[in-house]
Chains A and B, each alone.
Chain A
Amino acid sequence: MDEAALITQAQRGDLDSFNRLVLDYQGLAYNVAYRIMGEAAPAEDATQEAFLSAYRAIRRFRGGSFRGWLLRIVTHACYDELRRRKRRPSISLEGFEADSEGGESDSNPALASPGDGPETAAERSALARGIQECLERLPAEFRAVAVLADVQELEYQEVAAAIGRPVGTVKSRLARARARLRDCLQGLGELLPASYRLEGETIG
């Protein structure tokens, strides 16, 4: 069954069809949530919350990019979760503990990419954590755009749909996010790939 048919079925209240859409999109949703939240536990909460919201709202989906529509719900769920955690900061401790399970730890088999290059898995993991930390220093709305456009490589149009803003806003936010990220990433020093480091040094 193709996506459009699944959506139609889900809109008629068919839970199985909706769950097939969940399975198709949960990887994307969880990754976006993780990159925005920075921790496994809150990312998991936000993802679950997003799919529940999507289930309740799917009748109101009126065509267009389902991915963009769903990602908008995911980003909203992330913002909500971030606000909630700001109000009750104690929760983030749990998040750190749980991080070793679903996050970028060395032992995570999800990280072992097939073509292992010269860098070791540990180095890659440290770089990934460094990049993630730089992402987290961005204001949430800039972070969301950087995650969607650069990490997930979405078209501007789809990013615009996902954040509910015009393409012009995506352009300016992404440009500013990249400039800030560049400054932060230079601080990672040795963790950066050689090419990036050299370039950074010549610029001073």
Chain B
Amino acid sequence: MSSLSNLSPRELEWLSAYADGELPPQETASLRARLERDPGLRLALAEIQQTAGLLRSLPALKPPRAFTLSAERAAVARRYPRLQLATALTGLAFFLVVGADVFARTGMAAPRLLAAEQQVAVPAAEPALDQVLEKEQPLPEEGLQSAPPEAAGTAAPAQAEARAAELAATAPPVGQSTAAEELAAAPPQTATAPTFADTGQAAGETQSAEATPEAEALALELQSQAEMPESASGDDQVAAQAQEGDRLAAPELTQVPGAAPSAGQLSEAAPFRTLNRIAGAGLAFQLAEIGLGGAALVLAVLTLRTRRRR
């Protein structure tokens, strides 16, 4: 084996640097003194010098071609990092939107579950009620914002109840309108209910003349609904009517975006805005996902092609 293996790393480093004349003067002096005494060290130095000499003897190779850049290649070289950055940013944006979308969907699942538990606790007046409630479940998110947490599941019905009351107020008095008034008078389920009911009624009184035909039709429908469940009692009835009202009112109100907003529409706006916002957000997410995903794909292809051309 080589005598170099017998050296300590420090000795090896000194000898190597000494061979290149890169050892500091003080260390050079002490190493020289040791070299005079130690033939093994002299041999090691010779080996280092020979090794370096062999490496130096390697012939210089002629480059196979000129590495100068063409104008086109230089332009591509400048463009490439920008493309790379754009691709990375678009890809990142895409994944952020997908993440936000997923978060929004799963985030809404929590109140939905809470509401579902509360539904189980309430005895169903009729089988159809469950279906209606299920259909309305996206609403609890809004309910969570405006109502105490424990009332999350009932917030939506409460708002609908207020609307029912005030729709009844704006409608021409028919025999069964008392049912709707009862709804408004019923013990509030949430903290927000009285506010809605009060303002709804007040507005209804002053603006009943302005009620649109649609609102009137809606009120009529609501009243006919109110007639129905006589066997059902108390809260169940309220919930059923309110939910049914929600379901029925939704398409009609959204069909007349141009109509002057009646008091009823204004106070109803909150739950519907939620519905619309959820639907709108879902659509916006989808559009953003498709747009960003497509853009990222196109940019990635461009980047790869540019990379190949480089």
B56 at the interface (CB under 8 A from A): yes
The answer for the CA separation of A140 and B74 in the assembled complex, in Å, is: 30
| B78 smallest CB distance to A (angstroms) | 7
Contact B22 A171 (CB under 8 A): yes
Partner among B16, B58, B59, B66 whose Cβ is within 8 Å of the Cβ of A178: B16
Q: What DSSP secondary structure best describes chain A's contact surface? A: helix
Would you give the 0/1 interface string for B28-45, flagging 1 where the beta carbon is closer than 8 Å to chain A? Answer: 000000000000000100
A77–B145 CA distance with the chains assembled, in angstroms: 57
Number of interface residues of A (CB under 8 A): 62
Cβ-defined contact, B17 with A199, below 8 A: no
What is the distance, in angstroms, from B306's C-beta to the closest C-beta of chain A? 12
Q: How far is the CA of A183 from the CA of B22 in the complex (A)?
A: 23
A203 touches B2 (CB 8 A): yes
Residues from chain B with a CB closer than 8 A to the CB of A122 are none
Contact status A150-B22, CB under 8 Å: no
A182 within 8 Å of B (CB atoms) = yes
Would you give the shortest CB distance from A151 to chain B, in whole angstroms?
Answer: 5
In the bound complex, do residue A150 and residue B1 qualify as a contact, i.e. CB atoms below 8 Å apart?
no
Residues of A within 8 A of B47 (CB): 182, 199, 203
Residues of A within 8 A of B12 (CB): 175-176, 179
| B121 in the interface (beta carbon within 8 A) | no
Minimum CB–CB distance for A4 against chain B, Å: 20
- Distance between Cα atoms of A22 and B69 in the complex (Å): 8
- By a CB distance below 8 angstroms, the chain A residues around B66 are 22-23, 26
Interface membership of B232, Cβ < 8 A: no
User: Which B residue's beta carbon lies closest to that of A110?
Assistant: B62
Contact A102:B61 (CB < 8 A) given known A176-B12, A178-B51, A179-B2: yes
**CB distance A27 to B62 under 8 Å?**
yes
- Interchain CB contact under 8 A, B50 and A19: no
In chain B, positions 48-107 with a C-beta closer than 8 Å to chain A are 48, 50-52, 54-69, 71, 73-74, 77-78, 81
Q: Are A183 and B52 in contact (CB under 8 A)?
A: no
Determine whether B20 belongs to the interface, using a CB cutoff of 8 Å to chain A. Answer: yes
Question: Closest Cβ of chain B: how far from A50's Cβ, in Å?
Answer: 8
Q: Which of A44, A110, A181 contacts B65 (CB 8 A)?
A: A44
Are B58 and A196 neighbours in the complex by a CB distance under 8 Å?
Answer: no
- Given A56-B77, A56-B78, A199-B46: A183 and B5 interface contact (C-beta under 8 Å): yes
Q: Mark A36-74, 1 if CB is under 8 A from B, else 0.
A: 000010001001100110011000000000000000000
Query: Residue B195 at the A interface, CB < 8 A?
Result: no
Residues of B within 8 A of A78 (CB): none
Name the contact of A171 in the complex, choosing from B17, B50, B55 (C-beta under 8 A). B17
Determine whether the beta carbon of B9 is less than 8 Å from that of A156: no
Q: A113 within 8 Å of B by Cβ?
A: yes
Q: Taking CB as reference atom, which chain A residue is nearest B73?
A: A52
A104 at the interface (CB under 8 A from B): yes
**Interface residue A111 (Cβ < 8 Å from any Cβ of B):** yes
Given A128-B59, A176-B9, A15 and B17 contact (CB-CB distance below 8 Å): no
Using known A-B contacts A31-B60, A40-B64, A179-B2, determine if residue A151 contacts B55 with beta carbons closer than 8 Å.
Answer: yes
Name the contact of B64 in the complex, choosing from A35, A44, A153, A182 (C-beta under 8 A): A44
Answer whether residue B15 sits at the interface, using C-beta atoms and an 8 A cutoff: yes
Complex contact B22–A179 (CB within 8 A): no
C-alpha spacing A153/B56, complex, angstroms: 7
Q: List A contacts of B50 (CB < 8 A).
A: 182, 195-196, 199
Contact A131 B54 (CB under 8 A): yes
> Restricting to A138-182, which residues have a CB under 8 Å from any CB of B?
146-147, 149-151, 153, 155-156, 171-172, 174-176, 178-179, 181-182
B277 at the A/B interface (Cβ < 8 Å)?
no
B67, A55: Cβ atoms under 8 Å?
A: no
Q: Would you give the shortest CB distance from B255 to chain A, in whole angstroms?
A: 59
Interface set of A (CB-CB < 8 Å, partner B): 15, 18-19, 22-23, 26-27, 29-31, 34-35, 40, 44, 47-48, 51-52, 55-56, 101-104, 108-111, 113, 124, 127-128, 131-132, 135, 146-147, 149-151, 153, 155-156, 171-172, 174-176, 178-179, 181-183, 185-186, 192-193, 195-196, 199, 203-204
Q: List 10 A-B contacts (CB under 8 A).
A: A22-B69, A30-B61, A31-B60, A108-B62, A132-B58, A151-B58, A153-B56, A171-B17, A176-B12, A203-B3
- Please list the 7 inter-chain residue pairs (A to B) with the smallest Cβ-Cβ separation, ordered nearest first: A175-B16, A110-B62, A150-B55, A102-B64, A19-B68, A30-B63, A179-B4
